[in-house]
Structure 1
């Protein structure tokens, strides 16, 4: 395994003291993820104290740890382990010459990040880095930076937020050369007065742009001008993407494919590129345009990026598809169980509507929507009907307004929990069904996906 950090490098970066010499090939702060050669950072949080899992980390092969108290293994001792994590992130960012892309948005940021990684990895195989999973918050972003090898050529880092000011801090750690806002939509509205405030918070990503940096903005968004105004003081160039003929990166032609994907001919500045998007849905056309804009901005190979988009598979919880055994036969499952807001619900319901088979929607409540929660849920009735959903299983108390709006229009069941959904699910499914599973992560619909993957016959 290649060395990512030596104990001396770590001690210098975090202003700590090493107990002995060691070398680490990875970084983790979740003891469940620690593997041989990793550096374990013992963070203290509201829910638990990483120091309690220090011995477990060593037993799993940790090469060393960052700690704020005495330890029985190789370590670097500091006053504050969270501050040390951020310092290590800054050191990783300072030592690389990589072209860095930061990605944020209300919807599509993880999918766009994964597509960008696949596209750039074609240009620099083995030298492209990304955030894993959805590590996009105050701990996930510095961890992703700390994991970045010094020889990285391209890096794609996802940044999320649910309060004003969060991105302003994260972007100063990432210091991107290119910053993307994928879309603005109702998400975390519990913490914002309106969508304009969400746009302002997402626009904070431009604060950290490096000199000569490029901002990539969704042209079709009603908040386009607001985002452009946020970018102008910090970006040397602003690139727009979208379906409008006035967008800098736009489709000239799109054609749906029998496989569910889309064939696209796009204009990127003065150039044209024809390619296939493997993933279904109009939202993926938008994601792909943002990807091409970013690949072009960092000097990647557009043709190879197009090939990557044509081979991109769905992620678990974000569009992965599999065939499940159901009573009497098999059915197709579309796994969108990781998260949900009104915009992503509508987009994935449209994908379900375009999928052959009897349409079954297993939908969990959307969280952090504030005072308009009932209205947002009730409004899902229209896209559900438009998608020709024949059977719906609604999960969570906040789904009550939607259940009322759909009553008498489709076959419908409403249950309070994912556990209750699992009890009645087999009787609702039939061979040939197309089943969409989507909801906020806290609802726990990943359990439903796991049950389907394990076979319910």
Structure 2
């Protein structure tokens, strides 16, 4: 592999001093993720110091390190390794001619980021860089930037937040040509006075737009005009997406099928018919956002349609698993990574539209909902009932209000933790069942998926 960074380039980017010349092919700040040829950045956190893991990183194949104190390995020494990570991300952004997309939103941002990357890569194979996993915070974004090869054709970066001002800082690092907001929902509302405050914080993404850049905004959102207001000072172009009359990128038809959803979309200068592999109205919305971004970035729309047809579910965010139960099978819908009221309702609708002998919902408590937490949990009852759920397993202390709201309406049980819920579920499952597993990541429902799928999660 060709070098991603040389020690000379790292010195220039960070203002540090190299111990010896070296070159690296990747970047990591988690020593457990270091691969052969990587640069290891020894970050200092509140509870640990990455310098403790420098030796281990080199044992795993690191070719160099960024450190703030001398070590017995090839390194660049800087005053502050966190500042050096930012500086390396800035340098990576400055040296590339790639077209850059930034993606945020209360729901759907990781899936949309992955789908957009796949859509662009279908037309430019091997030339699309993206942030991996959910590396979307103050360390994940500069890390993702620092990993981008100078010759990339496109870059797609996810940005997240739970406080105002965070996305403003991230978008100025990313400097997107296209900035996408997927949706606004009461995620992290514990840290905001209102959902309008969340919309304002998400709208910060437009502040980093490059001159001539495009803002992509959900047309059907009640916060559409507020988001447009945030975009206008920074965006040369604004594209809206949705199903409503007047959306710039609009779903003319969205017909559920056995293989997903058959969609006909109208764009400002094109019309595209494609099959979307992922089920649910929320994924139709995500796909429209992807098409708007591909169009604004100058990508291949026809190739994007093919990519959306092939796009598979993500671990913890919609992956479907067929598991053996006796002489038959059951379907596990893995939505275990995150949850808020909007995403809960959307995935329960998917469960309701899934053909099954019985529908089982394993729902974990939603975190960071603040003073409205009880009401928002109880408010899920209508979605659970509408999905024709036969049995609901509710997990975590925050689920008491929903348990009370469902009393006498459907069969349900409330469990304190994922372990006890998982044991109950294994006794309950029969062939032909469809099981939705969804909750905030901290509840640990991913362990149930791992157990059911034999570690394939």
| 1:422 CA drift (Å) | 2.3
Tell me by how many angstroms 1:454 deviates. 1.3
Match of 1:305 in 2: 304
Partner of 1:287: 286
> C-alpha deviations, 1:203-226, integer Å up to 9, x for none?
000000000010011010000000
Instruction: Give 1:135's aligned residue.
Output: 135
Partner of 2:336: 337
Is residue 158 of structure 2 the alignment partner of residue 167 of structure 1?
Answer: no
Can you list the C-alpha shifts for 1:258-312, whole angstroms capped at 9, x where unaligned?
A: 22x1111111103111111000000111001000000000100000000000000
Q: Which moved more, 1:269-278 or 1:99-108?
A: 269-278
CA distance in 1, matches of 2:106, 2:167: 13
CA distance in 2 between partners of 1:175 and 1:165 (Å): 16
Contact 1:326 1:426 in 2 (8 A): no
Q: Tell me which residue corresponds to 1:317.
A: 316
Q: Distance in 2 between matches of 1:68 and 1:327?
A: 57
Instruction: Give the superposition deviation at 1:187.
Output: 0.3
Per the alignment, residue 278 of structure 1 pairs with 277
In 1, Cα distance between equivalents of 2:218 and 2:7: 43
Contact 1:327 1:429 in 2 (8 A): no
**Partner Cα distance (2:45, 2:107) in 1:** 28
After superposing on structure 2, the runs of 4+ consecutive aligned residues of structure 1 that deviate more than 4 Å are: none
Q: Which residue number corresponds to residue 350 of structure 1?
A: 349
Q: Structure 2 matches for 1:18-417, cutoff 5 A?
A: 18-259=18-259, 261-326=260-325, 329-357=328-356, 358-417=358-417
Distance 1:424 1:220 in 2: 40
Q: CA deviation at 1:131?
A: 0.5
2:13 — aligned with what?
A: 13
Quote how far apart the aligned CAs of 1:2 are: 2.2
Deviates more, 1:281-290 or 1:405-414: 405-414
Give the alignment's TM-score, normalised by structure 2.
0.98
Give the deviation of 1:387 after TM superposition: 0.2
Asked if structure 2 preserves the Cα contact closer than 8 Å seen for 1:362 and 1:435, the reply is yes
Aligned partner of 1:421 in structure 2 is 421
How many residue pairs match? The answer is: 455
The CA distance in 1 between the partners of 2:72 and 2:452, in whole Å, is 44
Give, in whole Å, the separation in 1 of the partners of 2:53 and 2:421.
35
CA separation in 2, counterparts of 1:308 and 1:399? 38
SS of the counterpart of 1:392? Answer: strand
Residue deviations 1:113-141 (CA, integer Å, cap 9, x gap): 00000000012110100000010011100
Deviation at 1:202, TM superposition (A): 0.2
Over aligned residues, Cα RMSD in angstroms? Answer: 1.1
Whether contact under 8 Å (1:217, 1:239) holds in the other structure is yes
Contact 1:395 / 1:421 at 8 angstroms: preserved in 2? yes
Cα distance in 1, alignment partners of residues 222 and 436 from structure 2: 29
1:447 aligns with 2:443: no
Contact 1:328 1:430 in 2 (8 A): no
Listed as ranges, the gaps of 5+ residues in structure 1 are: none
Deviation at 1:328, TM superposition (A): 5.8
